[in-house]
Amino acid sequence: MIARRTHRALVFLTIASLISSPAFAQAQTQATPQQSTGQAQDQLPVEAPPSPAPSAVLARALSFGPDYSKGPRFFPNAIAPYEPIHVSEPMLTNAPRLDQLIQDGKLMLSLDDAISIALENNLDIYVQRFTPWIAETALLKAKAGGVPQSGSSQLVVLGSGPTGSFDPVITSALNWSRSSQPINNPFTSGAGSTAVPFFTSYSANVNFGYSQLFHTGTSVSVAFNNNRSSTTLNDVIFNPALQSTMAFTISQPLLNGFGILPNTRFILEAKNTVKVAESQFEQQVITSATAVANAYWELVFDRENVKVQQAAVGVSHKLYEDNKKQLEIGTMAPLDVLTAESELATDTQNLILAQTTKLQQETVLLNLITKNLVSPDVLNVEVIPTTPIATPDVTENLALADAVQEAWQKRPEIVQAQLNLKNAGIEVKATKNSLLPRADLFGQYSATGLNGNKVVTTQTPTGTFSPDLTVPLVDQNGNILNVNGTPAFAGIQNFNTTRALQPGGLPEALSTMINNNFPTYAFGLNITLPIRNRSAQADSARALLDERQIEVQYRQLQNSIVLNVRNAQIALQQDRAQVAAAEKAQTLAAQTLDAEQKKYQLGSSTSYNVVLRARDLTTAQGNLLRARVNLEEAAVNFNQAMGRTLEVNRIVVSDAIRGKALRQPLIPGTPEPPVTGNQ
């Protein structure tokens, strides 16, 4: 009795689940507001993120905008899962914040503003911004039980994916048919004697099914089939007849495919691939910020170099004019005038070259901080750097071992290599499981109910007998039997026959099914043993080889970072020494030129010597400027080698991926805002 009640409850729950199909629709979490409303990525609201931790690892806790690893829910919008997820058109116009810094055709730009604006406009960052989102779509597919593409991972997808869908699947079949069949023997078929020997049958089916695969490899399916049939034959009990069947099937792999890891390997790898893509985006931000800083300092050098060349032209022009005057009064030879004029031409040529280089470098910097170089607001703008060159008294002198450890912790490349190595380990374990034979244990239960309209025939004796005189009753000797002297004959007992229709239908058929009147039980073990198993062996060997290769590449990357850090340290120290030496050389060159000019005024020197000393001073000034800019760039490259670029420049990666920098640019004429934790 208890078993039957349990069976009824199970059947009722299954039928209710199938009828209320939205409950099975999507097991995925609700889409983000940006997806459901179709809000463009570039139009996301800017919210203050938490204070950034000095770490190179990204966290989903930051607001990254759309999350394509989550599909829309079935409720409350039932058609949402069957519509494409909105992806906004790329915004290829310059951010309006750039206009705030332009005054009278001049872009007043600090280094901090240049990096901040690059987070919004740099196209390299914009392109890389799609990489985490593309990886999230692969994760979404893996969550559904599909085999994602390799994406940004260096692993090759080996073997096949899960044997079913992690998303519940509901199927339904509605069909109707009519058929006419000829009859060879109308008497034995129940059709009776008819002028045209055929019968007609009708059939209608309303079937529902539910199936789902779970992360353990367990697959469950439920089938609820309903058939209504009718016929013109008379040899059936129910006409029309309704048959309902409920079948439960469960299957569980015992060897190949057993466990969570073989069935969720692609989900685990896709999650790691998303992290790899996020780290690659962070690396692109670091690369772009470094490129912007280096381009900025190169522009500073080019502008200052123009000033140096202008000063050299001024000195040469004055010397030329003085020599001409002395030639006119006859106190100087023409050769001295030609020497001064030649130097003036050379310095003028150097000035033109410096001005050309400055214009070219402006274009390089604008290309890094704008989306559209031919936009009217930046087409002919002059970029004026406002951050001065600052020469530190001392440079950071960190022990190589400590510097390497810090770089290994902060460099995004290390994070990517570790995640790729982790994925390789998952592949090794999954392909090892695939080497096993398949042994699938299954069980099945079904219950069937049948009912319909039934014709009930009732015969009541009338008490009268009609003898057949041609069929006498005889004994064993062939003599006709007599009853009270009257011969006995066979005959027909008369009855009154009544026919009544007993209606029935789906409720009665369901009741029979629920009461488990006609159950079917089945279980078994299916074994598949591949001979030689070469395909699985190849996948396993490939996974092991990939893991070994990535291990070697990981060590190679570590050594590369050690070399990078060491070279950055050496460059930082050497450039600081170069600045000190260049400062001393410039001071001596200026003193030498001053002394040579005094001697020239006293007549104890020549114009040629003055020209040489002027060239020396110009060279010394250019060398000092180059050394100071090299020191600034060495600091930028050192921060990149150490993985400090984001921390030093107060860059929040969530700002970069949204294309919205919270730090406002420093508008010329306004005080610089204080540094806060949210910046």
DSSP string over 341-401: HHHHHHHHHHHHHHHHHHHHHHHHHHHHH-S-TT-TTTTTPEEEE-SPP---SS-----HH
Total count of residues recorded for the chain? 679
Residue-wise pLDDT tens digits, 547-579: 999 999 999 999 999 999 999 999 999 999 999
Residue 36 has pLDDT above 50, yes or no: no
Task: Tell me the average pLDDT of the chain.
Answer: 80
Contact at 8 Å (CB) between 525 and 441? yes
pLDDT band at 402 (very low <50, low <70, confident <90, very high): very high
Report in angstroms the alpha-carbon separations of 167 from 28, 253, 262.
8, 19, 17
Tokens of 113: 């503003």
- pLDDT tens digits along 620-642: 988 999 999 999 999 999 999 99
Sign of CA dihedral 340, 342, 346, 352: positive
Count of beta carbons in the 10 Å neighbourhood of residue 91: 16
pLDDT band at 667 (very low <50, low <70, confident <90, very high): very low
**43 or 144: which leads in pLDDT:** 144
C-alpha dihedral over 11, 16, 22, 28, to 10 degrees? -40
What are the pLDDT digits (tens) for 600-613?
Answer: 788 787 777 888 88
Return the higher-pLDDT residue of 609 and 46. 609
d(CA 150, CA 137): 12
Q: Detail the DSSP E strand segments found in 473-488.
A: 482-483, 486-487
Whether 63 has a pLDDT exceeding 50, the answer reads no
Distances from the Cα of 392 to the Cα of 292, 580, 633, 643, 644, angstroms: 21, 11, 13, 21, 18
What gap in Å lies between CA 416 and CA 620, rounded to an integer? 45
In 10 A of CB 604, how many CB atoms? 10
Conformation bin of residue 388: beta by default, left when phi > 0, alpha when psi is -120 to 50 = beta
Least confident of 23-27, 70-74, 308-312: 23-27
| Residue 521: burial class (beta carbons within 10 Å; 0-12, 13-18, 19+) | exposed
Q: Token pair of 591, please? A: 């003193």
Q: What would the pLDDT profile of 347-371 be if each residue is shown by its tens digit?
A: 899 999 999 999 999 999 999 999 8
Per-residue model confidence (pLDDT) at position 256: 92
Sequence-ordered list of residues with C-beta below 8 angstroms from that of 197, at least 6 positions apart, any chain: 182, 183, 184, 186, 191
For residue 97, give every residue at least 6 positions away whose Cβ sits within 8 Å of its Cβ, in sequence order, or none.
117, 120, 661, 664, 665
For residue 80, what pLDDT is reported? 85
Across 173-182, 220-229, 465-474, 607-616, least confident range: 465-474
pLDDT single digits (tens) 423-469: 999 999 999 999 999 999 999 999 998 888 777 767 777 666 667 66
